[in-house]
Amino acid sequence: MPAPKRIQLNDSGDVTVVTFSDSKIIDEDEIQELGQELYDLVERDGHRKFVLNFSQVEFLSSAALGKLISFEKKVSTHDGELILTNIRPEIYEVFAITKLTKLFQIKDDEADALAVL
Amino acid sequence: MAQHNWSSEVKRGIASRCGAHLEVMDEILVQLKALGWSDQELFGVQMALEESLTNAIRHGNGKDESKQVSLEWKLSSERFWLRVQDEGAGFLPAQVPDCTDQENLTACGGRGLLLICAYMTHVEYNDAGNCITMEKIRGEEENALIDVSS
């Protein structure tokens, strides 16, 4: 199984910590690839609890938001849990403008997320 | 109203291909940075460019490479002005579902126009719905819908 290109993975107990590899998530092909790598974690690998660490992310498009929403749905339908962390203020504002702060659980950092998962 | 003193005024066409807008986007951002725009302000400009150009390529022209996206932009140390026109049938912005409504929160599209309006001072569509004009004036509140057609 090839190593994912768009994400880096670390396990913390039964939680999978996902760090995005790209600083700008805008390229349509890369977003498709990112989505597939995230879906594989649920459908192929059977992971259920996730922390998505945004520390590397400086910019993302609405297409990337759409992919994150699809991933959230996928995790939910498998009775999993998902928490977003380490979101810089400019990116948090994008979530706030689109009201996705109501959809996603967001914590300051990985430790805060792991404490509740 | 006094004519604004623009530092650059450019018209260009780009192909309706995924990623064809990235070079132009970078060119505009580099010029604005040189004109003294902050990284935070450039984030909003990049969002408006990314969303309007990919909307035109993907939804307007359906990624048909025989169709062009026409761009016009004007830059200064105080203002960013952009017009993006595609060759598509257009759409009615008022009919785009409000993606911030609770029942639409999990819809996977419809956020581009909301983000453009959030970061720009003025945003306007033509009647056909295939041409968007926007302006960001530094230091002014975003999200007012007024005439920026000239």
Decide if B148 is inside a domain: no
Decide if B35 is inside a domain: yes
Per-residue pLDDT, A3: 87
pLDDT over 50 (residue B150): no
Average pLDDT, chain A: 96
Report the C-alpha gap between B150 and B133 in whole angstroms.
10
Per-residue pLDDT, B144: 43
| Residue A20 DSSP SS3 | strand
A 44-63 near B (Cβ less than 8 A) = 59, 61-63
pLDDT over 90 (residue B15): yes
What's the whole-number mean pLDDT along residues B87-91? 94
- Residue range of the domain that includes B120: 10-137
Decide if A1 is inside a domain: no
**CB distance B113 to B51 below 8 Å:** yes
Decide if B94 is inside a domain: yes
B142 burial type by CB count under 10 A (0-12 exposed, 13-18 middle, 19+ buried): middle
pLDDT over 60 (residue B147): no
Per-residue pLDDT, B148: 46
Q: Hey, are the CB atoms on B115 and A94 less than 8 Å from each other?
A: yes
Q: Determine the residue among A38, A82, A99 to mutate to test chain B binding: the one whose Cβ has the most chain B Cβ atoms within 10 Å.
A: A99
How many Cα neighbours within 13 Å face the side chain of A58? 8
Q: For residue range A15-72, list pLDDT tens digits in order.
A: 999 999 999 999 989 999 999 999 999 999 999 999 999 999 999 999 999 999 999 9
Decide if B144 is inside a domain: no
Q: For residue range B96-136, list pLDDT tens digits in order.
A: 888 899 888 888 778 999 999 999 999 999 999 999 999 99
Per-residue pLDDT, B95: 85
Q: How far is A78 from chain B (nearest CA, A)?
A: 16
CA of B50: which chain A residue's CA is closest? A61
Decide if A47 is inside a domain: yes
**CB distance A19 to A8 below 8 Å:** yes
**Of the listed ranges A103-112, B65-74, B96-105, B114-123, the one predicted with least confidence:** B96-105
Q: E strands of A13-86, at which residues?
A: 15-20, 24-25, 49-53, 59-60, 81-85
What percentage of residues in chain B have a pLDDT greater than 70?
A: 92
What percentage of residues in chain B have a pLDDT greater than 90?
A: 78
- Domain harbouring A41, CATH code: 3.30.750.24
Q: Can you state the angle between helices B39-54 and B112-119, rounded to 10 degrees?
A: 150
Report the C-alpha gap between A53 and A96 in whole angstroms.
17
Decide if A52 is inside a domain: yes
Report DSSP state, residue A3.
Answer: P
Decide if A2 is inside a domain: no
Q: How far is A71 from chain B (nearest CA, A)?
A: 10
- Residue range of the domain that includes A103: 7-116
pLDDT over 50 (residue B146): no
- Domain harbouring B87, CATH code: 3.30.565.10
Q: How far is A117 from chain B (nearest CA, A)?
A: 22
Q: Hey, are the CB atoms on A62 and B115 less than 8 Å from each other?
A: yes
pLDDT over 80 (residue B142): no
Decide if A71 is inside a domain: yes
Domain count, chain A: 1
Q: How far is B3 from chain A (nearest CA, A)?
A: 33
Per-residue pLDDT, B75: 98
pLDDT over 70 (residue A87): yes
pLDDT over 50 (residue A104): yes
Interface check B24 vs A, CB under 8 A: no
Per-residue pLDDT, B38: 96
Largest pairwise CA distance in chain B: 46
Query: What φ, ψ does residue A81 adopt, rounded to 5°?
Result: -135, 150
